[in-house]
Structure 1
Amino acid sequence: MEVFDDRRGSAVMVAAFLALLYVGVTLVSLGPRSISLQGSLMSWTHSTATSVTQAHVSVRCDRSQRDYDLCSINGSSLLDPNSSTFFIMDPNRSNQTDVVMKIHPYPRKKDKAAISLVKEISIIATPPKVPCGVTHNSPALVFSTGGYTGNFFHDLNEGLIPLYITIQTIFYDQDITLVISDWREWWVRKYADLLLHLTHHPVINMDNQTATHCFPSVTVGLIKHGPMVINAAMIPHPQTLITFQELLQKAYSNTSNTLGLDNIDLKKHKSSRARPRLVIIQREGAGAGRVILNIEEVTAVSEEVGFEVEVLEPKQSSRLADSYSLIHGSHAMIGVHGAGMTHLFFLRPGSVLGQIIPLGTEFVSWDCFEKPARVLGLRYSKYEIEVAESSLIEKFKVDELVLKNPEAYVGGNWSNMHVYMKLQNVKLDIPRFQRFLKTVYENAREFMDKGY
């Protein structure tokens, strides 16, 4: 039994190593802190190699990545759900000292607030003292729906996109079983249509199991390439945000609308093609922050410019198939920087995304939404509000640093962003905003006139 806790390797090396683990390569022991993969391009050598002829189980934990830890067991293991522990089923280890590894399977490992909401998983390198209750023929991928799950941006950024990356990196074209800790029933129901395209098996709720489960191999944790990023160069079979978007299309384009969206007439937008359709994303409730305070005026001026307008206020209970139907059939979408802008993945290439950028959010607006929008082939426009359009003008004086120089006010301390993310709403200057809308309209009209 070999155990490795690597804090040095690169993401590319880890991806290649993990991919090889699951195609049955022969292991050769190179001493206590080294390993070589016969026939591969990768090896670690710290001592004279000694061949091992019999098959045995190895565990590897990569802790070198900025956002995530990843542990892999390349042989049979048993899950004891009562202790959230995986035991290595290697009889050669029965009389040896326990080696315990612990991991939070959520790709935001440096965020103490998020990780405090994620259960720790243990891997113990000794055989279990209990038998298998349920035996699975497919490998397990273990991750958490704790952390910031419940916010659509974080559902994708720390959940579905890393899940997609991990499957494409380690389990490409393989059958897998998903095992979830910190189970949230609504999450599984909300994303059920998508999960059906990732696994053929029922998703296992680790939190309510009473029986033990045995798997031929296990991966604990999810691979993350960055905020809203899929780096094709880091995946053996290159995938991108575009292929992830195509997966969303498969999951939601053929799903019938049964629940409907509040205040949205899904039939109307199918018949009206005289005007390009604009979806305005409105954040839910004044306490959410970054709400458009004069939404009625914004809607009216959007119609005056020439749009058919639908205002969408996403909720946790909103059915994604309905949101997909509305947005995918539209020509433009605008909204204030926030989780609702993640619906950009439902827009068609060539359609328009307009982002309203509140004070102090320029960098995160680029990282979270402008960058992926451009990768997906959307025509991107931004509207940076002026101080007079921010509700912070009612709380602070114009010459205070918080308004005069947000970057200096934040000073690299994310907690200072609270004032811009939670305390700030926007009241748009309608004449100024109308000029922005005209540009969005021209691009949307051009897209519609091409037959979309």
Structure 2
Amino acid sequence: MVADSSSKSATTVPAANKGVARTLAQHHKAVVGFLLGVFVTLVLYTTVSGQFGSTNTIVALQSTTPAQRNATTSPPSSTPAASAPNNSTKQDDVQKDDLNKTMGGERIQDGVHGTDKNNRTDANFDKKVLQANATTDQPGGQPVNNATTADANEKKLQEEELIQQELDQDDDKNDTNDVKKDAGAPAPRKPICDLSDPRYDICEIAGDARATNRTVLYVPPPGERGADGQEWAIKDQSRKHLEYIREVTVKTLSAAQSQAAPECTSRHAVPAVVFAMNGLTSNPWHDFSDVLVPLFITSRAFDGEVQFLVTDLQPWFVDKYRLILANLSRHEIVDFDRDAGVRCYPRVVVGLRSHRDLGINPARAPRNYTLLDFRMYIRDIFSLPPDSVGIPYKASGAAGTEEKRKPRLMLINRGRNRKFVNLPEIADGARAAGFEVVVVEPRRDLRLEEFSRVVDSCDVLMGAHGAGLTNFFFLRTNAVMLQVVPWGHMEHSSMIFYGTQAKEMMLRDVEYSITAEESTLYDKYGKDHPAVRDPESIHKQGWQLGMKYYWLEQDIRLNVTRFAPTLNQLLRTLGE
């Protein structure tokens, strides 16, 4: 019995072991099958996701510099994602990012590692899949802590991002500090006087300007004051090389000098212009060329809201040109040599700008003024007819109310040199040609208000090359300036001093050059004298000798017969 029982037990044990083994084998197969299924599923998922790229797949951003973030990424590669490793790479991330942009996916902002809620879910799923892959691939089935590695990588990326942001912020702070430093530092002081022009010197002061007795002081703001001041001696007219012009002192005060600057005795809301009235004035050409035209260039843009501080004030000049001066400045003229007060202005200009002799360069003038603008300005000041009226010869009878009169010719005779010695004969010749003749001898005390109307009533202004022709400012558009050019190769001077200006002002310039026989030099020195026979030899010896003979010693005896064709041609031109 005992033996039988032992035999049965022995038989039962192997059978049980076999059952357990069988069960274990089945479980093992099930586990292996499960794992294999998971692996296949992962491979298929990775392949499919790499090939088609879901628009909700999160893109892991690398820490980049601002320049890299702003750079345009390359277009997606045409290589199938199946050929890439299962794990995502930088290239895959870039491709996904580009694909997201192309397909209208959510834009991920720089420096932000999260997206919307749906993308967060997908990110968690991706993280679990990566952990499962890592666990399966390790020997012995021991999982690697990929979550820790991913967190470390993410933390590293975040740290790099924070470092870059801090660097960017530091750069911004440095830039801000530089701006603050620049703003707090005294601005470099600029010279307030410009001595570079060959014709004139000019000083412009904007700010605290104090004028007293031929001196203009500039008190800089506290932040711009230096240890040393600056000082200039300025000839305050358009011809800075004239010895007749006395100098005006202009100073930029130092920090110490600013503390002791003289107090203002009067304050003015308008700017001031400092200029001289002496020099070569009393000659009408120089009155306009050296003072009035430069004063127009310098002060016209103020529209009358400016005060004149005049050095070497000439009462006759103020009286003769009072309409022009009163229009350029609606404020009293100050005698700057005798004014004992301290006048304070927001802006002061010392000196007069001048572009050329009796001329304006529109490119250098405020509001692009021209010499034609100046002529129109003068006509308006003297209340002369508007330019649309036309020359008197055509205007007289245009409305059919009166018979058309003869064209009027003003014959200007000089008083000392280059005068017409046969003036009555010349006037008679002009009348014979069909002109009404008005003979005048301009004087310095001539009242311009009345004289300007006489000039305006004429169609032709005739005279020898000289100051009397300056009255062409009162002529109407298309009127004629008839310039008689003296002997001595003076055509060039006649053109640059009057001819060019006449054309710029829309006047007609006609010139008649006399022969040697029409010059009194012929009677005085004879035909063989170099001044008569060879004027060029005189000019080569210097302008002083040419001035002596041709400007100062010469008078004109006009050959009326030779001059008649010029008058006839002029008459036909006026009738056209």
Are the structure 2 counterparts of residues 272 and 90 from structure 1 closer, same or farther at C-alpha, using a change threshold of 3 Å?
Answer: farther
Bigger helix fraction? 2
Mean CA deviation greater in 52-61 or 346-355: 52-61
Alpha-carbon contact 2:215-2:250 (below 8 Å) kept:
yes
Output the CA distance in 2 between the equivalents of 1:407 and 1:146.
34
Output the CA distance in 1 between the equivalents of 2:404 and 2:294.
37
Structure 2 partner of 1:430: 560
Structure 2 partner of 1:373: 502
Where in structure 2 are the equivalents of 1:6-405 lying within 5 Å? Answer: 50-51=182-183, 59-81=191-213, 84-90=214-220, 92=222, 96-110=227-241, 115-126=242-253, 127=258, 129-168=261-300, 171-173=301-303, 175-253=305-383, 273-284=404-415, 288-360=416-488, 361-405=490-534
TM-superposed deviation, 1:134: 2.1
Gaps of at least 5 residues in structure 2 are 1-180, 386-401
Alpha-carbon contact 1:117-1:147 (below 8 Å) kept:
yes
Pairs aligned (count): 372
SS in 2 for 1:188: helix
Are the structure 2 counterparts of residues 94 and 239 from structure 1 closer, same or farther at C-alpha, using a change threshold of 3 Å?
Answer: closer
Alpha-carbon contact 1:289-1:422 (below 8 Å) kept:
yes
Structure 2 partner of 1:419: 549
Q: What one-letter code is carried by the residue in structure 1 that aligns with 2:482? A: G
TM-superposed deviation, 1:181: 0.7
Gaps of at least 5 residues in structure 1 are 1-48, 256-270, 447-452
Are the structure 2 counterparts of residues 402 and 52 from structure 1 closer, same or farther at C-alpha, using a change threshold of 3 Å?
Answer: farther
Alpha-carbon contact 1:144-1:182 (below 8 Å) kept:
yes
Deviations 1:22-78 (A, max 9, x none): xxxxxxxxxxxxxxxxxxxxxxxxxxx944578998542222212111111122121
Deviations 1:276-321 (A, max 9, x none): 110011112xxx2100111011111111111111012111101112
TM-superposed deviation, 1:156: 0.7
Bigger strand fraction? 1
TM-superposed deviation, 1:418: 2.5
Structure 1 partner of 2:172: none
Q: What one-letter code is carried by the residue in structure 1 that aligns with 2:496? A: D
Are the structure 2 counterparts of residues 56 and 315 from structure 1 closer, same or farther at C-alpha, using a change threshold of 3 Å?
Answer: farther
Q: What one-letter code is carried by the residue in structure 2 that aligns with 1:353? A: M
Mean CA deviation greater in 366-375 or 200-209: 200-209
Comparing both chains, which one has the higher relative contact order based on Cα–Cα distances under 8 Å and sequence gaps of 6 or more? 1
Alpha-carbon contact 1:104-1:121 (below 8 Å) kept:
yes
Mean CA deviation greater in 330-339 or 54-63: 54-63
SS in 1 for 2:367: coil
TM-superposed deviation, 1:411: 1.9
TM-superposed deviation, 1:159: 0.8
Alpha-carbon contact 1:279-1:334 (below 8 Å) kept:
yes
Alpha-carbon contact 2:359-2:371 (below 8 Å) kept:
yes
Q: What one-letter code is carried by the residue in structure 2 that aligns with 1:424? A: Q
Deviations 1:105-147 (A, max 9, x none): 111223xxxx221110011222464322222111111111111
TM-superposed deviation, 1:363: 1.6
TM-superposed deviation, 1:325: 0.4
Q: What one-letter code is carried by the residue in structure 2 that aligns with 1:364? A: S
Q: What one-letter code is carried by the residue in structure 2 that aligns with 1:122? A: T
TM-superposed deviation, 1:173: 4.6
Deviations 1:250-286 (A, max 9, x none): 111269xxxxxxxxxxxxxxx99521110011112xx
TM-score by length of 1: 0.77
Q: What one-letter code is carried by the residue in structure 2 that aligns with 1:132? A: C
Alpha-carbon contact 2:303-2:328 (below 8 Å) kept:
no
Q: What one-letter code is carried by the residue in structure 1 that aligns with 2:525? A: F
Give aligned-pair identity as a percent. 30
TM-superposed deviation, 1:395: 2.6
Whose Rg is larger?
Answer: 2
Output the CA distance in 2 between the equivalents of 1:296 and 1:383.
18
Alpha-carbon contact 2:304-2:329 (below 8 Å) kept:
no
Output the CA distance in 2 between the equivalents of 1:166 and 1:73.
14
Q: What one-letter code is carried by the residue in structure 2 that aligns with 1:139? A: P
Output the CA distance in 1 between the equivalents of 2:204 and 2:190.
8
SS in 2 for 1:208: coil
Are the structure 2 counterparts of residues 89 and 440 from structure 1 closer, same or farther at C-alpha, using a change threshold of 3 Å?
Answer: same
TM-superposed deviation, 1:407: 3.0
TM-superposed deviation, 1:95: 8.1
TM-score by length of 2: 0.61
Mean CA deviation greater in 297-306 or 407-416: 407-416
TM-superposed deviation, 1:329: 1.4
Q: What one-letter code is carried by the residue in structure 1 that aligns with 2:284? A: F
SS in 2 for 1:217: strand
Mean CA deviation greater in 235-244 or 275-284: 235-244
Output the CA distance in 1 between the equivalents of 2:446 and 2:570.
26
SS in 1 for 2:270: coil
SS in 2 for 1:102: strand
Output the CA distance in 2 between the equivalents of 1:105 and 1:404.
43
In angstroms, what is the RMSD of aligned CA positions?
2.3
Alpha-carbon contact 1:172-1:237 (below 8 Å) kept:
no
Output the CA distance in 1 between the equivalents of 2:403 and 2:447.
23
SS in 2 for 1:197: helix
